[in-house]
Structure 1
Amino acid sequence: MKKFLLLCFSFVFVASVWAQERVVSGKVTSAEDGSALPGVNVVLKGTTNGTVTDASGNFTLSVPASGGTLTFSFIGFASKDEVIGERSVVNVNLGLDVTQLGEVVVTGQGFSKEKRALSYAVAGVNSDAIQARPVNDVGRILMGKIPGVTINPTGGTSGTGSQINIRGYSTITGNTQPLWVVDGVPFSSATNDASGFTTGGTASATSRFLDLDPNAIESVNVLKGLQATVLYGDQGRNGVIVVTTKSGSKKKRAAEVTFQQTYAFNEIASLPDFQKNYGNGFQQLTNTAQFFSNWGANYREIDSVGHPYQFLTDPTRRDPFARDFMFKRIPYEYSLNVKDFFRTGKVSNTSLSVSGGSEKMGITATIGYTDEEGYAPGNDLKKINATIGFNSSVTDKLSINSSLMFSNTDFSTPPLNGATGGGAAFGGVPSLYANFLYSPPNYDINNTTLFPYETPVDKKMVWYRSGSDIPNARWIAEYARETDVTDRIFNSTSLNYDFNDNTSLTYRAGFDYYTQRQNRSFNKGLSPTYAVIDQGVLQTQTITNTIWNHDLILSLNRSLSSDINLSARVGGNARNDYFQRDGLYSEGQIVFGLLRHSNFTISSSRSNAFGGRVFQYNEESQRYGLYSDLQFDYKNFLYLNLAGRNDWVSFLESGNNSLFYPSVGSSFVITDAFTSLKSKALNYFKLRLNYGTSAGYPSPYNTRNVINSNARGFVNAGGAVIGEHTLTNQLGNPNLRGEIIQEIEAGFEAKFLNERISLDFTVYDRGTKDLITNASIDPSTGFTNTLLNLGKLSNKGIEIGLNATPVRLSNGLEWNVIWNFTSVRPKVITLGEGIDQIVLAGFVDLGNFAVPGRPMNIIKGTVVARDPNGNPIVGADGFHELDPIIGELGDPNPQYLTTLINSLSFKGITFSIQFDYRKGGKMYASTPSALLARGVLAPESVLNRDLAFIAPGVKRVDTNGDGVNDGFVTNDIMATAADYGFNLQFFGRNDNAMFDATNIRIREISLGYSLPRQLLSKTPFKAASITLNGNNLWYFAFGAPKYVKWDPEVASLGVNAGLGFDYLTGPSMRRYGAVVRLTF
């Protein structure tokens, strides 16, 4: 491949012919892997006589007869002087400039800074932690690896989104996700759900950072504090994830080709232990109504039962099976293996990367293809990624750096709507998992011969319930689908002109464009219970999102005195966002299986079955900003940083649309200021302190009243078009201002024992005032709500990062340990006068709430009624009564998160294992509560069904004989096991479905082997390795009921503010596989 560079780039010769008494030749190689280095400068020291190495690393140079000293230099490698002496052949190994690489990190606006100079915490991972992994979602690769960053997947389905939170919450109404910046340009990571939470859109929507190719990434750095992100203005208030691609990196690269092939498998991580003694029914009886609970008779008591299809009440579903099943008896026995419903999904990822360069130019291109099957039937993900980039020194003063990315992401899944296990999923839309996990164990859904899932002619859904009101999961997997196809183009191009060694001007232009096509469809014939969907529905939606971003930055470096240096950047930014959504909804399918709008009787630009969304929507916004970053350096041990930005935004009225965010910070390297403190025990110690600010703005069009004009409101079967024009219920507020966010951060960095141990400790206190709050107003005004600046939030946290090398032996054995710790306590201080709570996510009677004086996202729902002494009140039916006022159920925020990564390496063998532990946090979980209530778990975990039970608490009594129950006595009302388990474990109240989310898991484990280069010396390969990987191979939830095997790591309310809910959106996934990597 070195010859590839020779064909692509011409040699640069600098030769001055003098005193040509003799010729010296040689070869330059890398000390790291022995590979040849092309393009290395070879200069006779003290002269201009020199050359560069060819594609094979060879050089030839005329030198004086007396010899002299040769200087070898190449970007990214430490320079080396070699005395010629009497030699005619001079071979040299160059080592990586590790010191330089380790001290520089990518910070705000894509600029690199010395880490010692930073007054804020920054953490990141390099390509080694990203590549050779079977996971193709960059967000999930980062899980547990960076202190202060919390990542929760929205489910176990391949391709679904992830909720990323950095340092708590700064708003209660706006976006809480971090800003992604790729090669210096904002990169949209939006999750454009096809509908909304109540209809399941958030459970299956993809996050757009899925479009990134992990194999094309050079590094990822996370800027967490407001001082670190101040140059991004309000866009950086939730943190910034800075991605540098190999195409966008300015690193000069040797010519090489890297091929990587991944094969992996997706499986359901864990399933409950199901009981095998009792079948479908209630009160230990079977019945023709076919209960969808499993409190029926013991299998030992009954030999057979009538086939459930003979009891179907809909003749169009019953009659086609009359001949086969009308009088058929089937064994009454355990026959369902839930695991057989799922599949082992195959994953393949192929990646090819080509790079080359010289001292003047570098180029990198990567292309990749991913084909992934989820464990659920019908869940598939396909991705095509292509990136190409180059950097070039056009002249001694002008350089250009550009990266271009294209991606096509094709995602499909059965509907994964939120559900509680009480029948239909939210919004009256079916879901694959809403009822499946507690299917009757005596009816084998996998035996499609004995239990067909569709009628033979018109393909209507059939299953065990006589009213056909419980969907057959196989029918849903076959005939209901959500698809999401996204085409994306992204470009970052920068021009840099160096006026002199100390002054430069950079212009950077960025373009991010994607088109997202979403389809949701149900063929007709599902169930009469789902009135509209039973007729067949089709919803298509196209989203176009465009970002234009421009930065112009002047950089200055000056020595103000012999001890003080100034590094300054002053810049301007212009960003334009344009979002467009268009779609069509149809219902009343004519021909089964044909999913075109022309095959439906009614079409509309408003969704009927999926939440009532109006598709036609355009949104445009502009931001213009000026920013500066001044860094004063005193003797390389004391640093002062002054930074700020002023933004002008288009979505607030004049007078409120301009805001300045200042910041100040300092770092003090104590061990350099007082060198006597340095020792073998203490090698480095730095203190950090900073103050930063930012803002949170509302989405556009909230300052004025908005009329929605929908020219194509409805189209009836006759083709008549009916328009509609509506005024929103929200009153515009022209006085709306941006939220003000302020943060104080302090910390230290230390290195011990010859840098075998490093510690990074951070504490912060972040607060938000002028919260944008959705306040109710008198409906007599014609509106129901408006946005006001009210309230305050607080976030206090601790972050710790520890790196240690307990063992490093001369034989190559090395043991490295990484420990990360994160604790953040978000709290609502006030919501403004007269507002005692606000629903953040979920429903008005069960969801996340903002309550003054309580943690952010507190969970509230229905609770048991209690007497004056706090005892639960039991009604006449033996079940607990509900309090008419919802109550607080728990705090979903974890007390802390911690990660432990152990890595061993020895002579080409590497082993790594990552443990993640979450302490605390409460969850409302439908999965364990529904399984308990439906009676499907192993009997040891639930109840003795042969006994009667008395609910704990008190019952009402008449104490004075006047016929009024005015007192309480200890309850003695007996209930059957079925009533007790069904009504008191689940349907009784929400507080029975609360569980502790404490859990531990093996997040990642890998075993790799790199072949020694001696074995490769006679092959075309420069490097070769194989790595075995596993993700989420094991977990244990301490608060889960026995036998449930529930995984609390799920975000069923989507990727924004919701937290602490599991709404039967599917089990988690584990993945294992192998990665082969070859470098030419």
Structure 2
Amino acid sequence: MQHSIICMRRGILPVLLYVFLMPLFSFSLQAGTFLEPPQATVSGTVTDTSGNPLAGVNLVVESKNSGTMSDFDGSFAINAGPSDVLVFSMIGFKTLTVPIAGRDEVLVTMEEDVTVLGEVVLNAGYYSVSERERTGNIATVKATVIDKQPVGNPLAAMQGQMSGVNIVQNTGVPGGGFSVEVRGQNFINGVTDPLYIVDGVPFGSQSLGSDDVSRFILGSDISPLNAINPNDIESIEVLKDADATAIYGSRGANGVVLITTKKGRVGKTRFDAHLSTTFGRVSNFVDLMNTEQYLEVRREGVINDGFEAALENPVFDSFWPDITLWDSNRYTDWQQVLIGGTAYRNNAQLSVSGGSAQTQFLVSGALLDETTVFPGDSKYNRATVHSNINHRSSNERFRLNLSTSYTHEDNLVPSIDLSSQAYTLAPNAPALYDEEGNLNWENNTWNNPLASLEEKVGVKSSTLLTNAMLSYELWEGLELRSSLGYTDYRLDSYRTLPSSARNPRFNFTPQNYSSLTTNQSQRTSWILEPQLQWKQQWDVLSMDVLVGTTFQQETTEQLVLRGRGFPTNALINNMAAADEVEARGSSDSDYRYNAVFGRLNLQLLDRYILNLTGRRDGSSRFGPGRQFGNFGAVGLAWIFSKEKLLAESSVLSFGKLRGSYGTTGSDTIGDYQFLDTYTVVGEDYAGVSVLSPTGIFNPAFGWEANNKLEAGLELGFFKSRIFLNAAWYRNRSSNQLVGVPLAATTGFSELTGNFDATVENSGLELDLRSINLSKGRFKWSTTLNLTVPRSRLVRFDGLETSTFANQYVIGEPLSIVKLYRSLGVDPETGQYEIEDFNGDGAITSNEDRQFIADLAPSFYGGLGNTLSWGNLTFDVFLQFKKQEGFNNFRNDAVPGFPRNASVELLDRWQEPGDMKPVQVASSGLVFGVGNGDLQRSSDAAVSDASFIRVRNISLNYKVPMLEKGLEVQVYLQGQNLFTFTRYTGPDPEQTLNSRLPPLRQLTLGLKVGF
């Protein structure tokens, strides 16, 4: 590692101890304030115009500048004189000034205010900005939206909610990962993960899972974000353009996701309990052949291949047991048997919060227990503890915020996703169990799918995340603060493959087959960010200056072992009992990061805004002379509705033009890529472990760059009852970091380096929200977001002669697939015809794959409506996408194979002259005949996969107050309830039938507060 990267190894423990203990001392010093008897107390309640109590209303005695907040039932108590004036304020309501006029009790009704853009504060990471004054593009989802979705991962709660953010759930198995793209794929290396910041601390989203352990059930993308309980989240902001992301420098190229957890509020100690039960099932089943249809095409395929005589000879029964040995009248709907179960999720959470004006606290704990739709005892358990202490001194110059969360996850699933077998098992396959209740192998004529339940994948992980923010106001307008964070993520997983999970005909024994694969991995990281902020206000000009520096270190370790040959399967979980142990992978890395950053924000006449951000980054992932990079952005905004010509408009209440341009970067290439690297291989030589070279020294490559340009228009009509935010963006990513392929004679497959290639992502984004009706107790509001993305490879020098020539095309997106062009079925031969593009008489992959299909969405978005009537609230949210995807032909293009398939294959060619979309049936036993595999890789395998999905429905009822201090809510929620699509596969977002699709879920919940 280079010594130019600043590293702190010592002195961390004392600082951590100070940070953890300081709030405890502060809390104890403040404890006396809770016990002091009130002096000249004025009490009362705050409600809205419908009579509902308002919690969290800021209450200030105007002359004394002292204050408090209303409690959850709207009540308040404050020391004040008979002639004082009380000022009530809350986001979303008009500020109200109320003279006490000698009263002991004050009843206050606050009126809703839709023109609150200046009061809606958005988290921009290192600083906060009002929605009115922001120059960058920041999308947000609040707790009010997250809480209405019965999901276990915060990424699931974001799906469809934000323009420019495309999120796809990779599997319906608990603990699985998500694919996230913020404004498209910027880099050829395929990395699209944004930077995640949780309460100011970077959170590694890269999975530490291993393909050797969990590839066939969860993939290797076990999402670390499962450790974050959605019920603990206050808001999620996504930073998209250069103005918003450049202050994060090299880490902001793919966008930044800021997760802010909930905090305590001023008021009496409050207890909240939250209980919910969820039922989940597969939302759609594929229309497969029944037994009669299946056997018809199977026999036809065998006969067409010339095996009609052999079909009648018992000697050949083992070639087609489904036709000759199995019960031809038997029918099993394997989708119902293997993935048709009901998954249950039980969630329980208890929290306690409260505090004085100086110190607030929140402590919550949650337990989640979830099963799958597979048969067997699969289960996922999660325990979470979250705490927050917020303290400020009586003179409000010193502030401290401490946030800590700890999560333990335990996931036990079968080693194989049974979905693929559910879609392909013959409908007349034998019973799963024999008469004695044992696995039925039907005279060794098939592989019982439930045998895979004997193979287990276990994943245990623990995540510790803590952050402390300390600040001190040196003098008015000048604040010194520092953020200190620490994360520890540990994942231990294993996969057992016992011999009992295999067909007895193979004569497998524990000694010659059984194996145990383990993965032990850990990622720890600490970060320290001292900052200095100066705010100054003059008559017509205000200035906000921020400077800071970042010191970060991350260490990752991973060891994958495989043991084989166990005396018995009973000892398979004990690696010490294995006859042979090999290292499947061993790695450790140390990443060090150092940066300085700054921001200058100027506002003139409350309408002209300039925002400058910059960062100089240093990364240990680059060689000498290449470690540092400079990034920055400029943002401009003009609030033209403040001009005299429009200031008095009764229609246009707000108007703003904004724009930004800047550069962010990326170093997401892994550690040590510029060095000669080695790894331990499984084999030994004379009892000594063997090191194998895996990387070549190359200090010449440097930072990837992403140049971002954006223009935006924000309009508010009729006192912002209708608010429109439209944006056009263009991102150009260059100096691409990819693996440069090497000749096999070098002994290495690739060399990490920079390609002179440019990728452009552009598009239009539209966000609309409106208050359609607000009359008395009835309210109706709507939100709409729409994204129209475009992407293309602008340049790639030497593409035609590179190994990427068959993957990318200049002028086309990175998301394309190159396919053959299908000419349909020849009516005379019954075989698929494929276009010979170059006319050489042969169909070859490189020359004849000339049809281009783009599998990225053409547009996507979401539409939400909220209707409330008094204590009853109804929400419905629709997600939509226009896209293409692989259809059933991608899995099966030829009828008659020994596997079930879609009923679409029944429309097949049977005799000369037939004009059919599907070729003649074949048994699959004759190799090299027909173009079935080419058809599976042709344009015929791609079709419309657009959809409109009822992503979420929520019905919430707030029970009228049974007694003072008690609040009860009951709710019914649905997730992925209905999907309207022409796509015939299981799910239009998962167009390969190999993984369990996201489930349809129904949740019943209860919230109690007192």
* Aligned partners of 1:180 and 1:188 also within 8 Å: yes
Matched with 1:338 is 335
Specify which of 916, 937, 945 is matched with residue 997 of structure 1: 945
Matched with 1:187 is 203
Matched with 1:775 is 740
- SS at 1:1003's partner residue? strand
Residue deviations 1:983-1036 (CA, integer Å, cap 9, x gap): 6666754114323221221111122211233xx2x2651x22111111111113
Distance 1:51 1:144, change over 3 A: closer
Residue deviations 1:828-869 (CA, integer Å, cap 9, x gap): 222322555656xxxx99xxx3333321121135666xxxxx
Specify which of 263, 280, 291 is matched with residue 266 of structure 1: 280
Q: Please say if 1:563 is aligned against 2:540.
A: yes
Distance 1:219 1:36, change over 3 A: closer
1:771 is matched by which residue type in structure 2? Answer: Q
- SS at 2:125's partner residue? helix
Matched with 2:854 is 891
CA displacement at 1:398 relative to structure 2: 1.1
* Aligned partners of 1:761 and 1:799 also within 8 Å: yes
Matched with 1:706 is 677
- SS at 2:670's partner residue? coil
Matched with 1:1053 is none
CA displacement at 1:508 relative to structure 2: 0.4
Specify which of 627, 643, 647 is matched with residue 597 of structure 2: 627
Q: Please say if 1:653 is aligned against 2:651.
A: no
Quick one: distance in 1 between partners of 2:831 and 2:71?
88
Aligned residues: 956
Quick one: distance in 1 between partners of 2:204 and 2:828?
54
Distance 1:514 1:782, change over 3 A: closer
Which one is further off, 1065-1074 or 546-555?
1065-1074
* Aligned partners of 1:1024 and 1:1079 also within 8 Å: yes
Distance 1:463 1:850, change over 3 A: farther
Specify which of 690, 694, 698 is matched with residue 724 of structure 1: 690
1:796 is matched by which residue type in structure 2? Answer: S
Q: Please say if 1:481 is aligned against 2:439.
A: no
Quick one: distance in 1 between partners of 2:581 and 2:647?
77
- SS at 2:625's partner residue? coil
Q: Please say if 1:904 is aligned against 2:867.
A: yes
Quick one: distance in 1 between partners of 2:970 and 2:485?
37
Quick one: distance in 2 between partners of 1:195 and 1:204?
5
Residue deviations 1:763-803 (CA, integer Å, cap 9, x gap): 10100111123222344445442223221111111111111
* Counterpart mapping for 1:242-641 below 5 A: 242-247=258-263, 252=266, 255-276=269-290, 278=292, 281=295, 284-285=298-299, 330=327, 332-336=329-333, 338-342=335-339, 343-377=341-375, 378-396=377-395, 397-416=397-416, 432-443=418-429, 445=431, 447-449=432-434, 454=439, 462=441, 466=445, 468=446, 471-476=447-452, 478-525=453-500, 526-527=502-503, 535-559=513-537, 561-595=538-572, 596-606=574-584, 614=585, 616-641=586-611
CA displacement at 1:162 relative to structure 2: 0.5
Quick one: distance in 2 between partners of 1:1010 and 1:579?
47
CA displacement at 1:390 relative to structure 2: 0.6
Matched with 2:168 is 152
Quick one: distance in 2 between partners of 1:569 and 1:921?
46
Quick one: distance in 1 between partners of 2:616 and 2:299?
72
Quick one: distance in 1 between partners of 2:45 and 2:28?
16
Distance 1:152 1:240, change over 3 A: same
Quick one: distance in 2 between partners of 1:547 and 1:662?
26
Distance 1:110 1:201, change over 3 A: farther
The TM-score with structure 2 as length reference comes to 0.85
* Aligned partners of 2:291 and 2:328 also within 8 Å: no
CA displacement at 1:359 relative to structure 2: 1.1
Distance 1:235 1:196, change over 3 A: farther
Quick one: distance in 2 between partners of 1:1032 and 1:333?
33
Residue deviations 1:677-723 (CA, integer Å, cap 9, x gap): 5423211111110002111223222212212245xx3479xxx8441
CA displacement at 1:762 relative to structure 2: 0.7
Quick one: distance in 1 between partners of 2:583 and 2:266?
52
Distance 1:1067 1:398, change over 3 A: closer
* Aligned partners of 2:338 and 2:422 also within 8 Å: no
- SS at 1:652's partner residue? coil
* Aligned partners of 1:932 and 1:985 also within 8 Å: no
Specify which of 1016, 1027, 1046 is matched with residue 986 of structure 2: 1046
Distance 1:147 1:754, change over 3 A: same
2:546 is matched by which residue type in structure 1? Answer: R
Distance 1:825 1:933, change over 3 A: farther
* Aligned partners of 1:540 and 1:584 also within 8 Å: yes
Residue deviations 1:128-156 (CA, integer Å, cap 9, x gap): 11114321211011100011000011122
- SS at 1:9's partner residue? helix
1:705 is matched by which residue type in structure 2? Answer: D
Structure 1: which 5+ runs fail to align?
18-22, 319-324, 417-430, 456-461, 607-613, 865-869, 954-970, 1051-1060
Quick one: distance in 2 between partners of 1:891 and 1:505?
50
CA displacement at 1:653 relative to structure 2: 1.5
Quick one: distance in 1 between partners of 2:852 and 2:487?
43
2:513 is matched by which residue type in structure 1? Answer: Q
* Aligned partners of 2:214 and 2:220 also within 8 Å: no
1:598 is matched by which residue type in structure 2? Answer: A
1:651 is matched by which residue type in structure 2? Answer: R
Quick one: distance in 1 between partners of 2:711 and 2:509?
57
Structure 2: which 5+ runs fail to align?
1-26, 835-841
Matched with 2:979 is 1035
Quick one: distance in 1 between partners of 2:369 and 2:989?
25
Distance 1:100 1:681, change over 3 A: closer
- SS at 1:117's partner residue? coil
Matched with 2:707 is 742
Quick one: distance in 2 between partners of 1:804 and 1:125?
16
CA displacement at 1:589 relative to structure 2: 3.6
* Counterpart mapping for 1:13-28 below 5 A: 25-28=42-45
2:282 is matched by which residue type in structure 1? Answer: I
Q: Please say if 1:799 is aligned against 2:757.
A: no
How large is the Cα RMSD of the aligned pairs?
A: 4.3
The TM-score with structure 1 as length reference comes to 0.80
- SS at 2:571's partner residue? coil
- SS at 1:231's partner residue? helix
Matched with 1:808 is 774
- SS at 1:1062's partner residue? coil
* Aligned partners of 2:467 and 2:484 also within 8 Å: yes
Distance 1:637 1:781, change over 3 A: same
Distance 1:366 1:143, change over 3 A: same
- SS at 1:630's partner residue? strand
* Aligned partners of 2:894 and 2:922 also within 8 Å: no
Matched with 2:960 is 1012
1:689 is matched by which residue type in structure 2? Answer: G
- SS at 1:267's partner residue? strand
Matched with 1:819 is 784
Quick one: distance in 2 between partners of 1:879 and 1:786?
41
Specify which of 953, 958, 970 is matched with residue 1026 of structure 1: 970
Q: Please say if 1:11 is aligned against 2:33.
A: yes
Quick one: distance in 1 between partners of 2:356 and 2:932?
69
- SS at 1:285's partner residue? helix
* Aligned partners of 2:114 and 2:720 also within 8 Å: no
CA displacement at 1:85 relative to structure 2: 3.8
